[in-house]
A and B are shown apart, each in its own frame.
Chain A
Amino acid sequence: KAGVTQTPRYLIKTRGQQVTLSCSPISGHRSVSWYQQTPGQGLQFLFEYFSETQRNKGNFPGRFSGRQFSNSRSEMNVSTLELGDSALYLCASSLAGMVADTQYFGPGTRLTVL
């Protein structure tokens, strides 16, 4: 079974631009979560989607948004990019997002903001 895939793997943007990252979960998984990883803050939870609805949200500004499609694929968008948004963005999928469900991570998208 194919794992979680994320595209693109690397991205370079300039301040003020916006960016869209994509995540395809493991087949059959309906929950998709997004995380941001930076050297200073470590791995932080952004939000989770289940059945096309945002179910949980971390403490990030409104510039960070996401959505999920009917096939469970998810996208996250960052508008008005700032230098501090440079990070590794990780997507994780699980069956239904219950506490005993294991989350499996993709390889991440490395975003650099210049």
Chain B
Amino acid sequence: DAKTTQPTSMDCAEGRAANLPCNHSTISGNEYVYWYRQIHSQGPQYIIHGLKNNETNEMASLIITEDRKSSTLILPHATLRDTAVYYCIVRVEAGANNLFFGTGTRLTVIP
């Protein structure tokens, strides 16, 4: 499995953009980068995923570097409800449908 490295915690002011980095230097060419978040004691919530190109949806943007060794999740206007643990996951090879969750980044949005 390609491993990911994320900062343990980050703070962000309410209304500002939250930029959450993730390193995945051993990623393979056909492995996707997925982001989930988990609000305390709830099930993880899917945010976004990508392979090579940058992606955007109604929740966030995902920026993947050209060499694919790192990515950044951007929450454009953070709210208090975005306070959660954010997990960056590199999907394992096709056919193995298990997600490897690391320790994630605990994002705290400050009023």
- The chain A residues found within 8 Å of chain B, CB to CB, are 4, 31, 33, 35, 42-45, 48, 50, 55-56, 58, 88, 90, 92, 94, 97-108, 110
- The chain B residues found within 8 Å of chain A, CB to CB, are 30-32, 34, 36, 41-46, 49, 51, 87, 91-103
- In the A-B complex, list the 6 residue pairs whose CB atoms are closest, starting with the nearest: A105-B43, A97-B97, A43-B101, A45-B98, A99-B94, A105-B44
Interface centre among A31, A45, A98, A107 (most CB of B within 10 A): A45
Instruction: Tell me whether A56 and B46 are in contact (CB under 8 A).
Output: no
Known: A99-B32, A102-B49. A58 touches B98 (CB 8 A): yes
Interface residues of chain A: helix, strand, loop or mixed (majority): strand
Nearest-CB residue, chain A, relative to B34: A102
A/B pair count, beta carbons within 8 Å: 73
Q: Quick one: which of A43, A44, A90, A94 contacts B97, CB cutoff 8 A?
A: A94
Nearest-CB residue, chain A, relative to B103: A42
For the complex, what is the distance from the CA of A101 to the CA of B53, rounded to whole Å?
Answer: 17
